Amino acid sequence: MFPLNAVLYPGVSVPLHVFEDRYRALVHHLLRTDDPSRRLFGSVAIREGYEVGDHGNQSLYRVGVRLQLTDVEARPDGTFDIVAVGRDRIQLDRLLTSGDYPVGEVTLLPGQEAEVPAEIVEQARATFTAYRHVLRSIAGDPLQGDLPSDPTYLSWTLAACTPLPMGERQQLLEASDAAERLVLVTELLRAELRAMNVITSLPATEVARTKWSPN
């Protein structure tokens, strides 16, 4: 297991710099696996705490992703730069930290392949297009290229490239299927657009909910 201060999604690649001893040990373990398709590890987002240090994460979200290690670059100082891609969702039932690296007892969460109504897909695409247009003037384009046509991959793409607060990103990961996820991301993007009309920041909704102090 490799807990992170980030919510990851299936189908999305993530680059990581690995420098802590326990996660370097994890990479060494994965590289000893001859079959690249079996170089798998899990990640869940850290609800409270930090990625590094003896005290580290104090509270973890239970739903995360299983990732496949795809690229590794070993550095002279013993650290690694790696790339991993999300495969599927997992539920963390128990985390064991007594070994060389964290090990999780997990349950694979099945993907729901129910048909997504066309109007839900179109609403999500249109809302993200409007959000993308506004975002370009603040922080640049959040997505390179065109939106995918497949509803499931579209739902993961919108979730991944939208700068939302951690809790809302976790909600998107925990949504039961693509239709629920697209409806939710559409609602969240609309709320962001409304807030960005008042406060030009990312994510605007998080700033709008923060108590303001003149000090």
DSSP secondary structure letters along the chain = ---BSS---TT-EEEEEE-SHHHHHHHHHHHT-SSGGG-EEEE-BEEEE-SSSSS-EEEE-SEEEEEEEEEEEE-TTS-EEEEEEEEEEEEEEEEE-SSSS-EEEEEEPPPB-PPPPHHHHHHHHHHHHHHHHHHHHHH--S-SSPPPSSHHHHHHHHHHHS---HHHHHHHHH-SBHHHHHHHHHHHHHHHHHHHTT--STTHHHHHHSPP---
Calculate mean pLDDT across residues 198-207: 56
pTM of the predicted structure, to 2 decimals? 0.85
- Supply the pLDDT for residue 49: 62
Identify the structural domains of the chain with CATH numbers, from first to last.
Answer: 13-108 (2.30.130.40), 118-206 (1.20.58.1480)
Least confident window among 67-71, 102-106, 161-165, 203-207: 203-207
Q: How confident is the model at residue 214 (pLDDT cuts 50, 70, 90)?
A: very low
